[in-house]
Amino acid sequence: MSGGCTDTPVLKQRGQREVFCGLTGIIWLHRKMQDAFFLVVGSRTCAHLLQSAAGVMIFAEPRFGTAILEEKDLAGMADANAELDREVARLLERRPDIRQLFLVGSCPSEVIKLDLARAAQRLSAAHGPAVRVLNYSGSGIETTFTEGEDACLAAMVPALQETQAQELLLVGALPDVVEDQALDLLAQIGIAPVRCLPAKRAALDAAIGPNTRFALTQPFLGETHAALIRRGAQHISAPFPFGAEGTTLWLKDVAAAFGIGPEKVDQVVAAPRARAEKAIAAAAQTLRGKSIFFMPDSQLEIPLARFLTRECGMRALEVGTPYLHADLHGPELDLLAAGPVISEGQDVDLQLDRVRAARPDLTVCGLGLANPLEAEGLSTKWAIELVFTPIHFYEQAGDLAALFARPLRRRALLRGQHPNMLEAAE
């Protein structure tokens, strides 16, 4: 079934987009990079988003904060650059453990054209080499949700050292446990050394060059992909490592780039792959034959629809994504069987009309929409959980399927109890 959804026309609508901005990525990035601090230069709204999106506020002092712009910064009564320098100096004095500081642009800082790139240069000169200061935009006018991580990693690429070494670079912030599993599998296949972007600490940063081959572990890293290619690195195009099939295909494509045949991969992955298939099969009992509708959120939608339809027997009705990056999603669209509507962007009211008309068994959506849909009797899966939970590679494939099965199992357990759905037994 060559082609899959590749030639499916993409539905594009423009209206209200019910999505997070790129600042949200700070919630997981600041835990991944242990010596980094993320300083948003923005408004009270930015600060409020960060603490609300974290859902449960983090009890440890977070390694992020917001330099809140005030009236006098806007009216030109205070030199915003001088104010920023002062706040950064205070912050670094209080947190001497910080080695990387990200100045993160926001909607207001961009609208008033505060030049954070120059500020980063100036502050690097002032606080370097102990502290490296970089900047990127996490604003809603420039980035949608996971594009914040993309912008952050893309900003790190020009600062990486140059090397001629033949190395594999894994790109995308993975939970530590998942990263360790991936490195272990790659080592067994015979690929070494392997570097990660982002690294846990600045001192562990990869070096790159024309002999670097890189593989993306997340489907939303379009800018980082472009920045790495500009540095001469070579991209290994592959489906993403979700599910037993996706992980195997990803490993085989990576292995092939290093001249290692698929037999070697099959031999190494036989046991974990069998475990993953067994775990997926358990969750698939709940998922098989059920319909699913993806609202656009994280750009994980197309790879996950591929996993859920091919490995769990679900039926995709619509797969919405904030952006469809043809280069990165091509291998995924090839695998996804034709049938579902593929949509890019959003008019949330029109899309909700389609959800209500289709009445899917499961709707993947943002936190703002989940309870309202549940109240209408439609089961939902919070999309944000997919970026906060280990879901990549073999050992998490069963957990990934279970994330989608749980709302359906819960609905079945509470049958007859839902206040707006006192449904008769089927």
Partner 1 sequence: MKLAVWTYEGPPHVGAMRVVTGMRDLHMVLHAPQGDTYADLLFTMIERRNHRPPVSYTTFQARDLGADTAGMFMQSARDAHARFQPQALLVAASCTAELIQDDPGGLAETMGLPVPVIALDLPSYQRKENFGCDEAFLQICRTLARPMARTERVTCNIFGPTALGFRHRDDLAEITGLLSEMGIEVNVAAPMGASPADITRLGAAHFNVLLYPETAESAARWCEKELGQPFTKTIPIGVNATRAFIDEVRALSGSTLPVDDQRLRQPWWAASVDSTYLTGKRVFLFGDGTHVMAAAKVARDEMGFEVCGMGCYNREQARPLRALARDFGLEALITDDYLDVERAIEEAAPEMILGTQMERHIGKRLGIPCAVISAPVHVQDFPARYSPQMGFEGANVLFDTWVHPLVMGLEEHLLTMFREDFEFHDAAGPSHHGGKAHPLPLDQTAAHAAAAEAGSMPAPDALPQAAVPSLDNIVWLGCAERELKKIPFFVRGKARRNTEKFAVEKGLNEISVDTLYEAKAHYAR
3-state secondary structure of 231: coil
Q: Is 177 in the site for partner 1 (CB under 8 A)?
A: no
Q: Is 135 in the site for partner 1 (CB under 8 A)?
A: no
Residue 142 near residue 111, CB atoms below 8 Å: no
Alpha carbons 87 and 105: distance in angstroms, whole number: 15
Nearer to partner 1, 181 or 299 (CB): 299
Q: Is 222 in the site for partner 1 (CB under 8 A)?
A: no
Q: Which tokens is 99 given?
A: 């080695």
Question: Near partner 1 by CB under 8 A, which window of 77-85, 96-104, 183-191, 336-344?
Answer: 77-85
**CB of residue 348 to partner 1, shortest distance in Å:** 8
**CB of residue 211 to partner 1, shortest distance in Å:** 36
Nearer to partner 1, 112 or 159 (CB): 112
Full strand arrangement of the beta sheet holding 315-321: 10-14, 341-346, 315-321, 291-294, 362-365, 380-382
Chain positions 381 to 420 lying near partner 1, rule: CB under 8 A, are: 420
185: amino acid identity, one letter: L
Q: What is the dihedral of CA 180, 185, 191, 193, to 10 degrees?
A: 10
Alpha carbons 385 and 370: distance in angstroms, whole number: 12
Beta bridge partners of 169: 195, 214
**CB of residue 420 to partner 1, shortest distance in Å:** 8
Q: Which tokens is 109 given?
A: 């800082």
**CB of residue 343 to partner 1, shortest distance in Å:** 16
Alpha carbons 201 and 52: distance in angstroms, whole number: 27
Q: Which tokens is 106 given?
A: 């926001």
Nearer to partner 1, 112 or 192 (CB): 112
**CB of residue 301 to partner 1, shortest distance in Å:** 17
Residue 216 near residue 172, CB atoms below 8 Å: yes
Q: Is 337 in the site for partner 1 (CB under 8 A)?
A: no
**CB of residue 369 to partner 1, shortest distance in Å:** 7
- Count Cβ atoms below 10 Å from residue 139 Cβ, excluding itself: 23
Q: What angle do CA 268, 271, 277 make, to 5 degrees?
A: 120
Total number of residues that touch partner 1 (CB under 8 A): 65
DSSP 8-state symbol, 58:
P
3-state secondary structure of 72: helix
Q: Is 344 in the site for partner 1 (CB under 8 A)?
A: no
Nearer to partner 1, 84 or 386 (CB): 84
Question: Please, which contacts does 372-376 make with residues 24 or more away whose CB atoms are closer than 8 Å?
Answer: 375/420, 376/420
Q: Are strands 291-294 and 315-321 parallel, antiparallel or unpaired?
A: parallel
Which residues in 355-379 are b (16+ Cβ under 10 Å) and which e?
Answer: beeeebbbbbbbbebbeebbeeebb
**CB of residue 366 to partner 1, shortest distance in Å:** 7
Q: Is 91 in the site for partner 1 (CB under 8 A)?
A: yes
Binding mask 30-69 for partner 1 (x = CB under 8 A): ---------x-x-xxx-xxx-xxx-xxx-x-xx--xxxxx
Chain positions 345 to 374 lying near partner 1, rule: CB under 8 A, are: 349, 366-372, 374
- Count Cβ atoms below 10 Å from residue 6 Cβ, excluding itself: 17
Nearer to partner 1, 69 or 155 (CB): 69
**CB of residue 175 to partner 1, shortest distance in Å:** 23
Q: Which tokens is 165 given?
A: 């070494």
Nearer to partner 1, 93 or 426 (CB): 93
**CB of residue 305 to partner 1, shortest distance in Å:** 23
Binding residue (CB under 8 A) for partner 1 from 71, 93, 97, 426: 71
Q: Which of 299, 287, 301 is nearest to 364 (CA)?
A: 301
Chain positions 104 to 123 lying near partner 1, rule: CB under 8 A, are: 107-108, 110-112
Chain positions 259 to 288 lying near partner 1, rule: CB under 8 A, are: none
Q: Is 377 in the site for partner 1 (CB under 8 A)?
A: no
Binding residue (CB under 8 A) for partner 1 from 3, 10, 12, 16: 16
For binding to partner 1 (CB under 8 A), which residues are involved? 15-24, 39, 41, 43-45, 47-49, 51-53, 55-57, 59, 61-62, 65-71, 73-74, 78, 80, 83-84, 86-87, 90-91, 107-108, 110-112, 139-142, 144, 349, 366-372, 374-375, 420
